[in-house]
Chain A
């Protein structure tokens, strides 16, 4: 069975601080995708990144970066120089590459950036 754990239920930081959201996953599959989605207060789910299990290179996109470590089954997300607009609930998710295409989500981390 697949499982995604986001142990941090809520995080609150002051603007401009760096913050890391943790994601640990469990799967018996050798190939899979990992995702991060953002859910701002308006409620929609916004795709941020998809990572293939073959590719352990870290990725950076502006102030966002992702650290994928297969050895520890983790896919952590760091926001550098946080801004108030980053306040949202962030979800990590897992999906097989072959077979069932359903996304398995973690419980989410509510991030609050205070001015």
Chain B
């Protein structure tokens, strides 16, 4: 298995632009998580899905952030409009109730 695949690996965008981060979970995993990592706040959970249904989105910072999981093999995290304070590394992870979470390589987002 190729593991959790995230794209792009790096994204540089201008303030106000829309940003879409993509994630392909490991086949057979029914949980998918989006985390954000910053120096100030560490690793924080933004949202997670179970069987493609959002379960807990309490970590989504504000309405500018949205996440979807249209099917079991794909999820997106969208920021519209982006702001410099959104600059961070965004991780996608997948797993099951019986396993650990497997993390993707992350997307490093820079908003200038």
Contacts and interface: CB of A to CB of B under 8 A. Distances in A.
Contact of A91 (B43, B55, B95, B97): B43
Interface residues of A, number: 18
B100 A47 contact: yes
Contacts of B31: 101
Contacts of A105: 42-44
A50 B100 contact: yes
B48 A102 contact: yes
Interface residues of B, number: 23
Nearest to A49: B100
Given A45-B91, A47-B100, A102-B56, A108 B105 contact: no
Interface string B53-93: 00110000000000000000000000000000000010101
B105 A35 contact: no
User: Which secondary structure dominates where chain A touches chain B?
Assistant: loop
Is chain B's binding surface mostly helix, strand, loop or mixed? strand
A102 B106 contact: no
B101 interface: yes
A37 B89 CA distance: 16
A35 B101 CA distance: 10
Nearest to B41: A107
B19 interface: no
Interface of B: 31, 33, 42-45, 48, 50, 55-56, 89, 91, 93, 95, 97, 100-106, 108
